[in-house]
Amino acid sequence: MPDIKRFGIERVAVVRMLPGLGDLLCLVPALRSIRAGLPDVRISLLGLPTSRWMLSRYAALVDEVVAVEWWPGIPEANGTRRSWLELAAGIRRGEFDLVFQLHGDGSVLNSTMRVFPDATIVTHHLDGARPAPRMLSRPWPVTGHEAVRLKGLCEWVGLPEVPSGLCFPLTTDDDAEAADLHLPVNGYALVHPGASRPDRRWAADGFAALADGLAGRGLPVVLTGTSLDGGAVAKVDAAMRFQPVRLEGRTSLGALGALLRGAVVTVCNDTGVGHLAAAVDGRAVIVVTTSDVDRWGPMPSERRVAVVAQASGRTAVDPSVRDVLDAVDRVLGA
């Protein structure tokens, strides 16, 4: 096992160019390990422009966010090649001593790490791949939660072991913004029917029946979503018998975190909201229709439960409303 603490390190780059909220929340335990082991270094996060919010929310862990508009092999970084040339020149001037490649299994990004000419690269590789010189690389774990895989690489090179749980610090401004929405003081259920990909969305009529079931138990229902989720929210609203409160496009990320923490229970797809609910320790039921639940689902907790599509021949059968309501009962009973 290597020990990077014996190296003279002043500047560290962390590379993760994934777009989702959950993608970045799963990075936080690794950042905690890096900061705990290297408290005096300057840590730069190289991520998509949508990663900029990490700097203000995790100022104790990240000193700088370098917005990546284009990078070879990364479809989400779809800016201009000229921006890449400017970024690469800036990276070379940055004199990074150590780079954590935490984007994935290394099959895409390891070959591009030569843009850091003098740095030691800490990364994963697929079985059978040969790491390049200057790379401290271990095989990509084929099992385990994403957050555990990422922090595990940091611990493998001698940085401190840290808790695997996600965290999202809330502020008094977040609480004040949530309070201004004037939600029921006796409790509410938060239902989030959107997702970044259509194949990750449970059916709108399922969400509607689930929301009516919660409302029938005396829990007012709050529908949330981004401005892009308005169609999904409208379909759920139209199919409901009870009248929900609609907040799509009306909450900042911080206010949404405060709402998730305050909800009696949240029901959502396997998307960033599920990770955010875990990061604020809210009670949640996550409906998983397509993704790898072991890697992206909730970590073991009585407060958060995944309800997973079941295989039937060559197809998958989505969870029923009864399945999801039963999971809600387990979470509330805990």
Do residues 96 and 67 make contact, with C-beta atoms less than 8 angstroms apart? no
Do residues 105 and 140 make contact, with C-beta atoms less than 8 angstroms apart? yes
Residue 9 has a pLDDT of: 87
Q: What is the CA 322 to chain-centroid distance, rounded?
A: 28
Question: What is d(CA 160, CA 38) in angstroms, rounded to the nearest whole number?
Answer: 10
What are the extents of the domains in the chain? 4-156, 172-333
Q: List per-block mean pLDDT (blocks of 10 residues) for the chain, which spans 334 residues.
A: 71 95 97 96 96 96 95 89 85 88 94 91 90 88 96 96 96 96 92 88 94 95 87 94 94 96 96 96 94 89 92 75 95 86
Residue 7 has a pLDDT of: 64
Do residues 124 and 105 make contact, with C-beta atoms less than 8 angstroms apart? yes
Question: What is d(CA 40, CA 38) in angstroms, rounded to the nearest whole number?
Answer: 6
Q: Which residue has the tokens 């994963």?
A: 124
**Local structure of residue 122 (DSSP, 8 states):** E
Q: What is the CA 12 to chain-centroid distance, rounded?
A: 22
Question: What is d(CA 242, CA 292) in angstroms, rounded to the nearest whole number?
Answer: 33
Residue 322 has a pLDDT of: 96
User: What confidence tens digit (pLDDT) does each residue in 254-306 have?
Assistant: 999 999 999 999 999 999 999 999 999 999 999 998 878 999 999 989 999 99
CA separation, residue 109 to residues 115, 137, 154, 229, 266 (Å): 11, 13, 17, 31, 36
CATH number listed for the domain at residues 4-156: 3.40.50.2000
Question: What is d(CA 100, CA 103) in angstroms, rounded to the nearest whole number?
Answer: 9
**Local structure of residue 221 (DSSP, 8 states):** E
Could you list the beta-strand ranges (E) of the chain: 11-15, 42-47, 64-67, 98-101, 120-125, 135-139, 189-192, 221-223, 245-246, 265-269, 284-288, 304-308, 310-312, 315-317
Residue 107 has a pLDDT of: 92
Q: Which residue has the tokens 């989400």?
A: 76
Q: Which residue has the tokens 């981004």?
A: 226
Residue 187 has a pLDDT of: 93
Superfamily of domain 172-333: Glycogen Phosphorylase B; (3.40.50.2000)
Q: Which residue has the tokens 């998730």?
A: 260
Q: What is the CA 76 to chain-centroid distance, rounded?
A: 16
Residue 134 has a pLDDT of: 80
CA atoms within 13 A on the CB side of 299: 20
Residue 308: beta bridge partners?
288
Residue 258 has a pLDDT of: 97
